[in-house]
Amino acid sequence: GAPRGPTEGGGGSRYGPMISDMAIKATQTVCVVKPDGRKEIDIKRYAKVEKISGGELSECEVLDGVMFNKDITHPRMRRVIKKPRVVLLDCPLEYKKGESQTNVEITKEADWEKLLQQEEDEMKKVCDDIIKVKPDVVITEKGVSDLAQHFLLKANISVIRRIRKTDNNRIARVTGAQICNRTEELSEHMVGSKCGLFQIKKIGDEYFTYMTQCEDPKACSVILRGASRDVLNEMERNLQDAFCVARNVLLEPRMLPGGGATEMELAARMKEKAKAIAGTRQYAYRAVADALEVIPRSLAHNCGADVVRVMTDLRARHAAAGGVCWGIDGSKGTVADVKALGIMDTFAVKQQTLRTAVEAAAMLLRIDDIISGISKKKRGDGPSQPAHEMDETFGDARDG
């Protein structure tokens, strides 16, 4: 239940839990553990968000497979196949025309027949290569000619053509098939059989191909349904945030109490440490502690609480032992046990925030002096003098 926070803002408040559950499911699906124990989560490539306007918001789902906006090439092909054998191709199933322009002069009609026959034979050979591995579905990124359709239809194979390369990669991850570049090289291990159901549904006035009920899919489609384009875009943005949070949690599962509790605890410990240090060094610790207190103070400020009282209360609770989880409840503006309320932050984000803040402060402190490039005349606070007498102008004004 970690990614609840960012997703419940905006228009998704009623569907906050739904969006975060979808994000977790999608992220877990695309998570691949490498041999060296590293986790690789590529959401951009393998969790495709498909927005279909119309329908209810509650119809959003994460498929255990993929879906894409394509129909079969011939109406007589099968539209629903259980446990299909899938072949993915990267080559056109039509007769190749030469790269350079060629003119063929034919005198006899028989030769013309021969030429056409040759094209047909070529095509038949390609289709036979495909039929040999007995697939149920053939998906190619390029075109399919009528002739090839005819041969494949006779073998009872459904064909989908001109699919995007990215979609093809996702189908490969879901079905376990390998994308084949040349039909001659097709072999049994390239056929994907992990998909449980291939079906084509009509949503609105478009056809969508679903490949679902896959065993252990490593890619997925997230389907968003909503009344209008704007609602869908808003949901997609929320979902994107949720994906990132879910990914952070999977890569680094450690959590910290939110609601300003972590910062307040750090500030309290820094102040204690400062007392133990003699000399001027202790002021640095104090300054960092004061800076960290800005976060709970801003939270208290934002929810309209009595800032001074709440901060004093928090400080007192963190000074006592065992007060680590006291933070601010943003809805009520009171001090509360954030762990009990389930307000948690990811360790990765907190670590990065502190690191960036310290680096930014260090960078600002490195600046010794600021030289302004605007002349006094332009600033309007000094007497206007001829340009060459001023030492603050640059470039042309000085030369001329």
Per-residue pLDDT tens over the stretch 225-238: 888 888 889 888 98
Between 86-100, 120-134, 319-333, 365-379, the lowest mean confidence (pLDDT) is in 365-379
352/216: higher pLDDT: 352
What integer best gives the mean pLDDT of the chain? 83
What pLDDT shows up at residue 356?
A: 95
**How many other β-carbons are positioned within 10 Å of the β-carbon of residue 126?**
23
3 pLDDT higher than 80: no
Contacts with 182 (C-beta within 8 Å, 6 or more apart), sequence order:
91
Interval 144-156 mean pLDDT? 87
Q: What pLDDT does residue 352 have?
A: 92
Query: Which has the closest alpha carbon to 343: 356, 332, 330?
Result: 330
At 184 the pLDDT is 83
pLDDT band at 381 (very low <50, low <70, confident <90, very high): low
* pLDDT of 16 over the 60 cut: yes
Look at 375 and 60; give whichever has higher pLDDT: 60
Residue 359 has pLDDT above 90, yes or no: yes
Q: Could you tell me which residue, 268 or 396, shows the higher pLDDT? A: 268
Question: pLDDT value at position 13?
Answer: 55
- pLDDT for the residue 149: 87
- CA contacts within 13 A on the Cβ side of 124: 7
Residue 355 scores a pLDDT above 90 = yes
CA-CA distance, 378 to 326, in Å (whole number)?
53
